[in-house]
């Protein structure tokens, strides 16, 4: 039987390790990797500009529609190449749940998150905003509300073996 095309979402607060995890999984599972953040930027999927936070506000409904199209294209291309796609972003859960097999939520300890964001050169206010998002489980509650099947993966001390183990469990889970 031909394997089904799999769609994985990796979400979580910025700095929790989504990109690291999504890239590793895409190699281990031979799924295409898709960077939702740069896509939203280049495709201008914004509804407004937040002056105070100095950031563009993503148009969630438009993003959802565009991600469905991206998945559709990858699905067509999968006949010759990869057998799945991994969407990476704190916005990836906006792909409607009927198109997603699983939503992986990356998280880490608050101390680790603060250290990672500081290393990134984020301002005090931006670090605070992201720590609050992690404390209030913003991505997790949004993903739940949108009806995703969720697996939480803690990257605080995640070793290469743990990621490999996750890849094995995922490949079994999405095929049953």
Ligand X SMILES: Nc1ncnc2c1ncn2[C@@H]1O[C@H](COP(=O)(O)OP(=O)(O)O)[C@@H](O)[C@H]1O
Instruction: Spell out the residues 6+ positions from residue 71 whose beta carbon is closer than 8 angstroms to its own.
Output: 7, 85, 95, 99
In whole angstroms, the minimum distance from the beta carbon of 15 to ligand X comes to 5
Q: Are 149 and 102 in contact (CB under 8 A)?
A: yes
Q: How far is the CB of 3 from Mg ion (least distance, A)?
A: 28
Provide the pairing of β-strand 55-58 with 46-50. antiparallel
Among 16, 26, 78, 130, indicate the residue that binds ligand X (CB under 6 A). Answer: 16
Q: Tell whether residue 158 is a contact of ligand X (CB under 6 A).
A: yes
91 binds ligand X (CB under 6 A): no
HSE-CB at 55 with a 13 A cutoff on CA atoms is 9
Residue ranges in 117-156 that form contacts with ligand X under rule CB under 6 A = 155
Q: How many CB atoms lie within 10 A of CB 15?
A: 26
Interface contacts to Mg ion, rule CB under 5 A: 18-19
Kindly tell me which residue out of 93, 107, 116, 148 binds ligand X, with binding defined by CB under 6 A.
Answer: 116
What is the smallest separation between the CB atom of 8 and ligand X, expressed in angstroms?
Answer: 15
Sheet (strand 150-154) strand order: 32-35, 84-88, 6-11, 102-107, 150-154
Nearer to ligand X, 16 or 26 (CB): 16
Which C-beta is closer to Mg ion: that of 33 or that of 83? 33
Query: Where do contacts with ligand X occur on this chain (CB under 6 A)?
Result: 12, 14-20, 106, 116, 155, 158
């Amino acid at each position: 039987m031909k394997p089904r095309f799999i769609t994985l979402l990796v979400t979580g607060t910025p700095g929790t390790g989504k990109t690291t995890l999504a890239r590793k999984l895409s190699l281990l599972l031979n799924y295409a990797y898709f960077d939702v953040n740069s896509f939203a930027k280049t495709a201008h999927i914004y509804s407004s500009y937040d002056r105070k936070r100095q950031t563009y506000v993503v148009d969630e409904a438009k993003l959802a529609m565009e991600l469905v199209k991206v998945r559709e294209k990858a699905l067509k291309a999968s006949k010759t190449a990869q057998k799945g796609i991994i969407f990476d972003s704190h916005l990836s859960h906006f792909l409607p749940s009927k198109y997603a097999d699983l939503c992986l939520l990356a998280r880490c300890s608050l101390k680790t998150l603060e250290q990672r964001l500081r290393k990134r050169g984020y301002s005090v206010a931006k670090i605070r905003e992201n720590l609050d998002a992690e404390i209030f489980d913003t991505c997790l509650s949004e993903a739940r509300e949108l009806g995703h099947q969720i697996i939480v993966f803690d990257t605080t001390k995640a070793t290469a073996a743990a990621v490999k183990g996750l890849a094995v469990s995922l490949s079994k889970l999405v095929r049953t």
